[in-house]
Amino acid sequence: MKDEKMRRRDFVKTAAVIAGFPTILVARQPKTFRLALIGCGGRGRGAVRDAHEAAKILGVEVKMVACGDWFRERALRAGKEYGIAPNRCFGGPTAYREVLETEAEIVLIATAPAFHPVFVEAAVKAGKHLFVEKPVAVDPVGCRRVIAAGKEAEQKGLVAIAGTEMRHDFNFRLTHQAVAVEGALGRLYGGRIAFCIGHMFATKPINPKTPDDLIRTWQNWVCLSGDHIVEQHIHNIDVANWFVGRPPVSAVGFGFRARRPAGDQYDFFSVDFDYGDGIHIHSMCRQIDGCWNWVGHDFVYEKGHTNGSDYPKPQKSPIPPDLPRAPSSNVQEQVDLLYHVLKGKPVNQLQALAESTATAIMGRISAYTGKMVTWDEIMVDPNKNPALYNLQLKPTPEDFERGTVEIPQENVVPVPGVPAK
């Protein structure tokens, strides 16, 4: 009887293979990736949801094994949502270290941007594949740390995916291939980019007293967010760098604070980015209610123009033929992450993310000071302008970890043309 059962089972397996139908008898157990989350706010939890959807698209599984946040109660809530044991939900300034000590293969990082250089650096040293939200820093020192971490990730064969979502959008990728790589529209002359929207974040003074107050309201503070030109307009700045093919040579900008009631950010920025070879991209971003709004791109070429996504007609697609197309760019980020880990194909998107972050920072510094700021000054030559090259906003991530945080003054902002005290 036992031999008869075995023969019957072998027959069913063979028939299924011949017919070409995947059945539970012949299908392999789906690959399971162990994930961890650092930063359990809305964007972090959203990235986890996107990772689960991406896993379904790819036919793999993900298992959350740890999470960490400055506020442990947030970590516990995220852990409860994704079945993580409470003793794997870490809080406080060293939570990221405890997360990285677990068996997680992939780490999703979605904290206040000021912490990204330290967390990315630590994740790479721990040998973890990673996804990190944009921007990747708030100052030039942080950008260079991430570039160095990216090079180490390459040496270790890791996958490092960035949250600059338009680089993951198929229409943007195809248009970039057709226009920027294959030259379908001829030479690039220049363009404009914008992130002009209504007011965001706190609507009344925060009056922070503790580090907890700062981190809870991080979007309002330059030391943690980089200001909105860095934290949000980076999306459009990144597309500009991508289509031009390099970061700009210099930036000249202006801006100020007109109506914002909390924190220490500007309300608007207008920056001319000079990419050399006669190519200028005008950048503008604003967060003020009751004004004209536009978020987008317009690149002018000798044979026409594109918004970055409306010319998906390359002669050769840059997208792997077996890479699934997700229903949104946020999910596509996680599809790209899991796909490359599954394939064993290292990817380093940290370099481009750091360069786009540094471009936004260059524009911010120019607007704050009223001076022209060059790429060489902030990213290349430590002797050209040491104050800018070594600029590190306070409090630093290390200050939060050491407990040496000095609370910034609310509603005190740089005045262009007036040297900082």
Describe the crossing of helices 350-369 and 140-156 by its angle, rounded to 10 degrees. 170
Strands 89-91 and 373-374: unpaired
Helix ranges (H only) for 59-181 are 72-81, 95-100, 116-125, 140-156, 170-176
Nearest to 65 by CA among 89, 29, 46: 89
- Burial label for 71, CB within 10 Å (0-12, 13-18, 19+), is middle
Q: Please tell me what DSSP assigns to residue 177.
A: I
Which residues, at least 6 apart from 142, have a Cβ–Cβ distance to it below 8 Å?
Answer: 114, 116, 117, 136, 357, 392
**Rounded-to-integer distance, Cα 60 and Cα 42, Å:** 24
Instruction: Give yes or no for a contact between 63 and 97, defined as CB atoms under 8 angstroms apart.
Output: no
SS3 250: strand
Please list the pLDDT of the chain residue by residue as tens digits (421 residues).
434 433 433 433 333 333 333 332 234 568 999 999 999 999 999 999 999 999 999 999 999 999 999 999 999 999 999 999 999 999 999 999 999 999 999 999 999 999 999 999 999 999 999 999 999 999 999 999 999 999 999 999 999 999 999 999 999 999 999 999 999 999 999 999 999 999 999 999 999 999 999 999 999 999 999 999 999 999 999 999 999 999 999 999 999 999 999 999 999 999 999 999 999 999 999 999 999 999 999 999 999 999 999 999 999 999 999 999 999 999 999 999 999 999 999 999 999 999 999 999 999 999 999 999 999 999 999 999 999 999 999 999 999 999 999 999 999 999 999 887 6
Strands 268-274 and 280-287: antiparallel
Neighbouring CB atoms inside 10 A of 352's CB total 19
- Locate 367 and state its tokens: 């607007």
Which residues, at least 6 apart from 278, have a Cβ–Cβ distance to it below 8 Å?
Answer: 189, 190
pLDDT at position 419 is 81
SS3 50: helix
**Rounded-to-integer distance, Cα 411 and Cα 346, Å:** 44
Strands 32-38 and 61-69: parallel
**Rounded-to-integer distance, Cα 260 and Cα 241, Å:** 29
**Rounded-to-integer distance, Cα 213 and Cα 389, Å:** 29
pLDDT at position 22 is 33
**Rounded-to-integer distance, Cα 264 and Cα 277, Å:** 36
The CA–CA distances, whole Å, from 105 to 21, 77, 88 equal: 32, 22, 15
SS3 400: helix
* Global pTM value: 0.92
Amino acid at site 60: V
Amino acid at site 306: T
pLDDT at position 20 is 37
Nearest to 217 by CA among 200, 233, 232, 230: 200
Instruction: Give yes or no for a contact between 362 and 283, defined as CB atoms under 8 angstroms apart.
Output: no
pLDDT at position 106 is 98
**Rounded-to-integer distance, Cα 136 and Cα 232, Å:** 12
Q: In Å, how far from its chain's centre is CA 157?
A: 20
pLDDT at position 28 is 59
**Rounded-to-integer distance, Cα 221 and Cα 416, Å:** 19
φ/ψ of 129, rounded to 5, equals -70, 150
* Structural domains in the chain, sorted by start: 32-166 (3.40.50.720), 185-312+348-402 (3.30.360.10)
Helix ranges (H only) for 128-227 are 140-156, 170-176, 211-216, 222-225
